[in-house]
Chains A and B, each alone.
Chain A
Amino acid sequence: MRLFVLLWATCLLAADPAVLKFCLRSEPKTFHPLKVGDDASETVRYLTAGTLVKINRRTQLPEASLATKWKTLDGGQTVRFQLREGLRFSDGTPFTAEDVAYTFQQVGAIRSGFTDSLRQGDNAPTATVTGKNEVTVRFAGVTPGWERLIDGLGIMSAKSPLQEKAVLGAFMVAEYKAGQYVVLGRNPHYWVRDAQGKPLPRVDQIRMDITANRDLELMRFKRGEVHMINKVDPDAYQTLATQMPEAVRNAGVSFESEQLWFNQYAKSPLPAYKLEWFRSTVFRRAVSESIRRADLAKIAMKGLAVPGVGPVSPGNTVWFNTKLAAHPYAPSVALAKLQKAGFRKQADGLYDAGGHRVEFSIVTNAGNKTRERLAAMIQADLGEIGIRVSVVTLDFPSLLERITRGFNYEACLLGLTNVDQDPNGQMNVWLSNTANHQWNPNQAAPETPWEAEIDKLMRAQARTVSQAKRKELFDRVQAIVHEQAPFIYLVHKNVLTAIHPTVRHSLVTVLFPHVFSNAEEVELQGAGVYRSAR
């Protein structure tokens, strides 16, 4: 009888695997760990890939993973890794030093935003097997903060017939239906155990439904059909906070910002007088100082953000320049500065020295209610100093074409995501000769002295090993950006997430991925007996 009950219970529990469910808001572009560039692919990579070193999402510090220890040599250009022994990929293929060397070889062969972050100029790092379970990686130059860079480097198998599909992370891709869902299964060879010595991960599967519809995601969360929401909009957060207060989590200020910038590109089809305004620091600062940031944070972001300061959010405790504060709201001072620069305020608005009415349009992406609200509030604020602003919303590809190809825009409001804690991750934004130097890209030589100084400082910090010295150099970059306002930082958003009460041991972190950074440790209420029995 006992045997029968045991068999019956086993069958019942086996038929009901613990499946953690959440949504991806876009299609994962790739499952190849080295080609990852979008949030959805990054999520899959984070959950499936094994890395040499891992940034602990709680402490924001590097810790051992596939490498048990490492030593930095040659003044920071070379790192020797001692690898963990006896590990296997998800298909059973043994993990060896050759796999690490092969992965670095692939970094050199594959072009993507991620592999570019490991390059210096056009030169990729190389890896050599220097002993049993020992690999020496040589970067193209001194690479401070390499730990954070290789936190995203999923080690691939050199021998597995499954190639990059054989993984060393907690989960592996089990099923994928394009445009519908991705199911991750438990990696049977995952090596990490919990504090009690039990194997991880605790859930059997992760199901990620692909849906861009945030309202639908929220509705499904309320019904208990999904367990987590990684990013909740301020509006939805407020609604959820009243309906399911136990489910919402606010982890504090994120690394993300909402920012406004003017088009300063010389070859843009803008009239010369507008280009002259946008290239004027006085004009940009006047605009910045006429925006009520506190109200943007309080009203547009529902109090779930802080006024924008600069390129580094106060949430990035390591790199934020604490001497800086958000530009003050001082419209009368701003107007006085503008008048000193030749602008004049008349009854119907502000005019420049040439008699042109000061007016411009702000382009932003359609469908983002928060951003549309920010734009409307900026429109009202600037109206008070006589600047007429119109807001144009475009679908994302159209917006991208305007700001990266035709340059046929005047000002743009967008949110830029800094997934990388280290300033090297922003290199292609700050260097004046890059395509991502949005306000004035692809400059043959820096067109302003302050951009020349930023170029110099960014290159210098990238060559410096000392963290204190790097911080000093990057603090200066932040100060210049604060002073010159090529980007007008509006708000830094909070990390807002939702976790269903049935999920246990969850952790919300400021670093990406906020809500499932410890997915392997997460447990679902009601499925614990089965798991602990194994």
Chain B
Amino acid sequence: MRNAILRRILSSLATLALTGLAAATLLRLAPGFDVEVSELDGRTSAETLRQMREARAGEQDIVSFYGRYLRDALQGDLGRSRSYEVPVTGLIAERLPVTLKLIAWGLAGAWACALLLALANIAFPKVELGFNLLTAVMLSVPAGLVALLILMGQRPVALGLAIALFPKLFSYSRGLFKQNAATGYALAARARGLSAASFLSRYVVWPASPALLAILGLSVNAAFGGAILLETICDLPGVGQLALQAALARDLPLLVGMTLFVGALTVSANAVTDLASLYLTRGRGRA
């Protein structure tokens, strides 16, 4: 177990470093990386333009930039945002609570509905068609439209995130539950007259818990992705909105800082769920 944890930490750190480098490289190669809107200001002289361009020279060589950036990041300094002219750590710290709250409520809502409805589907198989229709409709509604409806209806943004995450979580959970409910030992237990509650908890949900934990990790990633869209459309000042603004403004220090920070959060969430899943599986193996 200890080796597994160590391996997981090392692979997470490597993933994180590579993700940051990939983000920096992509942004560096993006068209319009080294231009400023103020360059179109008809008053700006050639000398001022030259100085503006020189100020960005340090970001041209992406390898040396990233090397310096990682060194500073290890000391807790994520640099200074070029578009906001403030330290990146301050920006993230200011906006992180908004996103964490959004994601927590969104995930809680989506998971609660998904698990409850998936169990209801197992308990009442006759309504499966209705659940199928509901899932199909929700999957086909673009997340952008959900965000617009939330905005116009002045509903909580977390509701939008829950609606966006729900159909996939429901499909996965229902698939796992159905699989478990159809196993030989589950059918035998049911035939012996086990109560519905005990059957669902012991033979349907509990055996699915390692897989559900793994999906929980993935849903955290998906929630961060959804947060970008929802925060942008609903004008919620979280890190998702900040990430998009950083990309649009070609703000290299901010985007790399965001990538590393959000990457660390999601990688940690995945590592925790993976290890928990591993622990549960091993525990059962010993039993």
Residues of A within 8 A of B (CB): 27, 29-30, 37-38, 111-117, 119, 122, 177-180, 211, 213, 216, 219, 394-402, 404-405, 416, 418, 420, 425-429, 433-436, 442
Contact = CB atoms under 8 A, between A and B. Distances in A.
A405 B34 CA distance: 9
Contacts of A30: 85
Nearest to B90: A178
B31 A113 contact: no
A400 B37 contact: yes
Contacts of A396: 32, 37
Nearest to A211: B235
Contacts of A399: 32
Contact of A179 (B33, B40, B245): B245
Contact of A397 (B33, B42, B95): B33
A38 B47 CA distance: 19
Given A211-B235, A213-B235, A396-B32, A29 B85 contact: yes
Contacts of B41: 37, 113, 436
Interface string B84-114: 1110001100110000000000000000000
A38 B37 contact: yes
A179 B31 contact: no
Nearest to B94: A177
B35 A397 contact: yes
B43 A179 contact: no
15 contacts: A27-B83, A29-B83, A37-B44, A111-B48, A111-B51, A113-B38, A122-B45, A179-B95, A180-B237, A400-B36, A402-B31, A404-B35, A426-B42, A428-B42, A429-B42
B174 interface: no
Q: How large is the interface on B (under 10, 10 to 19, 20 to 34, 35 or more residues)?
A: 35 or more
Given A119-B45, A395-B32, A400-B37, A216 B94 contact: no
Nearest to A397: B32
Contact of A219 (B81, B85, B152): B152
A113 B151 contact: no
A401 B43 CA distance: 19
A480 B27 CA distance: 42
A400 B91 contact: no
A114 B43 contact: yes
Given A111-B48, A113-B48, A416-B40, 14 more contacts: A116-B45, A119-B45, A177-B94, A177-B237, A178-B90, A179-B84, A179-B241, A179-B245, A219-B152, A396-B32, A401-B33, A404-B39, A428-B45, A434-B46
Contact of A113 (B32, B43, B84, B250): B43
Interface string B205-237: 000000000000000000000000000110101
B35 A405 contact: yes
Contact of B44 (A29, A122, A177, A436): A436
Interface centre among A116, A211, A402 (most CB of B within 10 A): A116
A400 B35 CA distance: 7
A395 B248 contact: yes
Nearest to B83: A27
Contacts of A401: 31-35
Interface of B: 30-49, 51, 81, 83-86, 90-91, 94-95, 151-152, 232-233, 235, 237, 241-242, 245, 248-250
Contacts of B86: 178
Contact of B43 (A38, A117, A177, A213): A117
B45 to A, nearest CB: 4
A425 B49 CA distance: 16
A418 B42 CA distance: 9
A425 B43 contact: yes
Contacts of B90: 178
Contacts of B40: 400, 404, 416, 436
A405 B39 CA distance: 11
Ordered nearest first, which 6 A-B pairs have the shortest CB separation? A397-B32, A113-B41, A398-B31, A178-B84, A117-B43, A113-B44
A399 B235 CA distance: 25
A178 B83 CA distance: 10
A177 B86 CA distance: 10
A336 to B, nearest CB: 36
Interface centre among A29, A219, A433 (most CB of B within 10 A): A29
Nearest to B44: A113
A213 B248 CA distance: 14
Contact of A116 (B31, B44, B84, B249): B44
A59 B45 CA distance: 30
A122 B47 contact: yes
B39 A216 contact: no
Contacts of B38: 29, 37-38, 113
A7 B232 CA distance: 44
A491 B49 CA distance: 29
A263 to B, nearest CB: 15
